[in-house]
Structure 1
Amino acid sequence: MRVGVPTEIKNNEFRVGLSPASVREYVGRGHEVTVQAGAGAGIGCDDAAYEAAGASIAPDAAAVFKWAEMIVKVKEPQPEEWVQLREDQILYTYLHLAPDPKQTQGLLESGVSAVAYETVTDAAGGLPLLAPMSEVAGRLSIQAAAQALQKNNGGLGMLLGGVPGVLPAKVVVLGGGIVGLNAARMAMGLGADVTIMERSNARMRYIDDVFGGRIRTRYSTAQDVDEAIDEADAVIGAVLIPGASAPKLVTREMLKDMKPGSVVVDVAIDQGGCFETSHATTHADPTYVVEEVVHYCVANMPGAVPKTSTHALNNATLPYGLQLADQGLEAIKANPHLQDGLNTHKGKVTNMHVAESLNLDFVAPLDALGR
């Protein structure tokens, strides 16, 4: 199969769909790979490194999109990219369609078979292609919170871990999944006072066992969330419903009772955000203030650490990507986990959560593919 890797063009996105090591794996399986010139610059890999791995170099994105049968990216296609997609192509990347009707319409009009990293599943019911970026984003969320809490950045002027004789910041994490656990681990490591809000009793027992009680857990009702964020210096939004829009756990009214200069970091912003007052920001302009609370809502947080995140992502996406390259759409028919990943095909929405979130008709993946 002809596999194309364009340069990412989202604001301050430095990751790349395939590393040279991954290119070598594709080429070793008999596939042709073309990489746009300069695509790997953000991870310190020049065109020569890709050529050494067996790729050819294309001068621009148009050449990649025109030539490729399968496009491998990191972030969702931007408007100037989705108009270059076509019905006989497979798109393999993060999509996050539920809160993005414009992109969804663009993909439907193109007819492309779009496989979203964030909805591919595994035998354990997990999201293996989302997990590595959830780990990165969870850890980065605490770095972001620590920066935003500085007075010069509009925050309270607190050191996350305090010092002897001065209490540390109180960090509340909404959700005890992969993002939440990694955020809590980082916050605890910096000496913060950490509470995770969670609804799964089994998950709370797990957290308590793993951290030996050093991280507190609290059952997540609306009342408990309201009380917890009133006392918090930083709140991390880490909730996820696979493929669907994130639930709004914190309303504007609830925000009014938070401390002036406190911080919220909405890691769920790719799926619409879990704070009512959230809207996507960029690394170039990451924060804004609502009700005297600093909001950090960067939609591609792992893009700030592209060397780490590209290699972590490739470790997860490579096996599924090779299946798609080896077998094309037959791989999706044969693999129920790739069926979960298929979001659009020939103008049809093939993910139930996306369809429900956008009020569109849903067609089961196998029915859309013609079984």
Structure 2
Amino acid sequence: MHLGVPKEVKAGENRVAMTPAGVAELTRLGHQVLVQTGAGIAAGFSDMDYQRAGAHLSASIAEVYASARLIVKVKEPQPSEYSLLQPHHVLFTYLHLAADPVMASALLDSGASCIAYETVRDSQGRLPLLAPMSEIAGRMAIQAGAHHLEVAQGGKGILLGGVPGVAPAQVVILGAGVVGSQAAAMALGLGAQVTIVDTSLGRLRQLDELWRGRLQTEYATRTRIAELVQGADLVVGAVLNAGDAAPRLLERDDIARMRPASVLVDVAIDQGGCFATSRPTSHQNPTYVEEGVIHYCVANIPSAVARTATLGLTNATLDYVQRLAKAGLDTLKSDAGFAQGLNVCRGAVTHPTVASALNKRYQPIERVV
């Protein structure tokens, strides 16, 4: 099969969808891979690295789309890419369609088959292609929050771990999934006082056993969340409803009652955000102040560590890419978890949660594949 790896055009996006090592695996199997020149530079991979791996290079993103049947990306197509997608294309990337009905309509109009990393499931119901970026985002949420608590960044001047005789920062993490657990590990490692909140008592028990009292766990109710954030220095929103918009956990009034110059990090911003005052930001302009609270709502947090993120992403996606390259959409027929990644196909919405979020008619996969 002919595969295309375009350079990401979203502002501040430094990752690339495939490493040279991944390209080498695909070309060894007889597939042809076309990589746009400069696609891997920001992640530390030169054009020569891709050529040595067997890739062909193209200076034109239009040629990459025109020459390939399978398009492998990192982030959702941008408006400049909509017209490049054709009915014969299979697009494999992060989509987060529930938060972007305009893009969803463009993908439906294109007739392309679009598989979202974030809704693919493995045999145990986990989200294997979301996990590596969630791990990075969770760890970086604490790193970013700690940085923006500094006075020079407008913060209240608190060191996350404190010092002997001075109390550490109070960190509240909303959601105990991959993002939340990784954020908790990072915050605890830096010496903060950490509370994690979730509705799953089973998950809270796991984390309690893991950290043996170092981590405070709380059952999530709206009342308790509102109480906890009033005393927090840093709040991380780490909730996920796969394929759906993020639930809103804090209203404007809750945020207005927080201490001035506290920091909110909304990792759920790709899915619309979980705070009433959240709006997407970029690495170039990562924060804004609303109700006296610093908001960090960067929509592609892992891009800041593009090399680590690209390596981690390719490790997770390569097997799926190989299967698509070998059998196309037919590979979905024998893997129900992989099939859950198909969000849009030939003008139809093929994921029930995405269809509900977009108020579109749901079409079962077997009717369109």
Q: Deviations over 1:263-315 (max 9, x none)?
A: 10000000011101101100000001110010000000000001100000111
CA distance in structure 1 between the partners assigned to 2:115 and 2:9 by the alignment: 19
Q: Deviations over 1:186-209 (max 9, x none)?
A: 000111000000111111110011
**2:21 corresponds to:** 21
CA distance in structure 2 between the partners assigned to 1:326 and 1:335 by the alignment: 14
**Contact persistence 1:4–1:68 (CA under 8 A):** yes
**Contact persistence 2:125–2:337 (CA under 8 A):** no
CA distance in structure 1 between the partners assigned to 2:315 and 2:262 by the alignment: 36
**1:188 corresponds to:** 188
Poorly superposed stretches of 4+, deviation over 6 Å:
none
**2:311 corresponds to:** 311
**Contact persistence 1:339–1:366 (CA under 8 A):** no
2:262 counterpart of 1:267: no
1:72-87 alignment, distance < 5 Å: 72-87=72-87
CA distance in structure 2 between the partners assigned to 1:281 and 1:266 by the alignment: 10
Give the C-alpha shift of residue 335 in structure 1.
1.6
**2:176 corresponds to:** 176
**1:330 corresponds to:** 330
2:217 counterpart of 1:217: yes
Q: Which moved more, 1:352-361 or 1:188-197?
A: 352-361
CA distance in structure 2 between the partners assigned to 1:66 and 1:277 by the alignment: 41
CA distance in structure 2 between the partners assigned to 1:174 and 1:344 by the alignment: 30
Percent sequence identity over aligned pairs: 51
CA distance in structure 1 between the partners assigned to 2:42 and 2:154 by the alignment: 30
CA distance in structure 1 between the partners assigned to 2:67 and 2:274 by the alignment: 40
Q: Which moved more, 1:171-180 or 1:345-354?
A: 345-354
Q: Deviations over 1:2-48 (max 9, x none)?
A: 00000011111110011000001111111000000011101211111
- Which structure 2 segments of 5+ residues have no match? none
CA distance in structure 2 between the partners assigned to 1:200 and 1:351 by the alignment: 25
Q: Deviations over 1:167-204 (max 9, x none)?
A: 11000000000000000000001110000001111111
**2:127 corresponds to:** 127
What secondary structure does 2:98 align onto? Answer: coil
CA distance in structure 2 between the partners assigned to 1:153 and 1:365 by the alignment: 48
CA distance in structure 1 between the partners assigned to 2:301 and 2:204 by the alignment: 26
What secondary structure does 1:328 align onto? Answer: helix
The AA in structure 2 aligned to 1:98 is A
CA distance in structure 1 between the partners assigned to 2:337 and 2:87 by the alignment: 22
Give the C-alpha shift of residue 166 in structure 1.
0.8
- Which structure 1 segments of 5+ residues have no match? none
What secondary structure does 1:288 align onto? Answer: strand
CA distance in structure 1 between the partners assigned to 2:233 and 2:293 by the alignment: 10
The AA in structure 2 aligned to 1:142 is I
Q: Provide the aligned C-alpha RMSD in A.
A: 0.7
Give the C-alpha shift of residue 334 in structure 1.
2.0
CA distance in structure 1 between the partners assigned to 2:43 and 2:338 by the alignment: 28
